[in-house]
Structure 1
Amino acid sequence: MIGYVTLGTNDLTKSSEFYDALLGTIGAKRFMEEPNYFIAWAKNPDEPSIAVSVPFDKKTATVGNGSMVAVALDSPAQIDAFYAKALELGGSCEGKPGFRPEGATSGFYAGYFRDLDGNKLNAFCMVAGD
């Protein structure tokens, strides 16, 4: 399955500060880094990770239309906190946390946001019904 996801950035310092703070809330920390090029975070080095990188071709990083990274969490409360932290750090709302489809009381629970470079992410979990 997925080993890692890399998101483009035009400001590695600003992006790394955002992800240090955001991913730190779920126990992920830096485990790979190449100065002025990329940084990767994971809970453990042998688990899937998220990285940010300046583009290898040295051109401007752009957002992939239709691309999104989903972060699996354990509970709606954890998703609410993660989403709130992303917005607190300067991210923007792409869909407040809640069940999808709207009105559901179990199943897919997610909150959507964009990072400082405009990359779209969500935090989600599955909630069992009664």
Structure 2
Amino acid sequence: MIGYVTLGTNDIETAAKFYDALLAEIGARRFMEFDQFIAWGVSIEQPGLAITKPFDGNTATVGNGVMIALQVDSPEKVNLVYNKAIELGAKDEGPAGPRGVLPGFYAGYFRDLDGNKLNVFCMMAPNI
């Protein structure tokens, strides 16, 4: 149902470098690019992530309560992407590990360089 998600940025070049390096960890690459808008995805048939300078000309701000979740296929990939985000200057919002919200839910939370909240997660088979 979701086609893509857009995050605001005040520094398109710096944000683009962050997301180029981060999303490469999950096989995503740029598939659309304009002066004020860049989008990444693993395929055109799957949801993508984009950054943009606000078209209204105002300063980009973080949406309180908004979070983007990036799904991967293993806890190792969660660790890889989460650690890459922190290495790239993201702020920790909860280290990678199992979460009690759902059996088998494994996630790491961080804020990008503009303060947007993201997580990377996978669903593992619960231990029964």
TM-score normalised by L of structure 2: 0.95
Among 110, 120, 124, the residue aligned to 2:121: 124
Q: Who is 1:39 aligned against?
A: 38
State the 4+ residue runs in structure 1 displaced beyond 2 angstroms: none
- Specify every segment of 5 or more residues in structure 2 that has no aligned partner in the other structure, as ranges: none
- Specify every segment of 5 or more residues in structure 1 that has no aligned partner in the other structure, as ranges: none
Query: Over the residues paired in the alignment, what is the CA RMSD in angstroms?
Result: 1.3
Tell me the CA shift for residue 113 of structure 1.
Answer: 0.3
- SS of alignment partner, residue 86 of structure 2: helix
Amino acid at match of 1:123: V
Residue by residue over 1:98-117, the C-alpha shift from the partner in whole angstroms, topping out at 9 and shown as x without a partner, is 11128x9x511100000000
Residue by residue over 1:42-78, the C-alpha shift from the partner in whole angstroms, topping out at 9 and shown as x without a partner, is 0112211000000010100000000000000001000
Counterpart-to-counterpart distance in 2, 1:4 and 1:85: 22
Q: Who is 1:67 aligned against?
A: 66
TM-score normalised by L of structure 1: 0.94
Q: Who is 2:104 aligned against?
A: 107
- SS of alignment partner, residue 50 of structure 1: strand
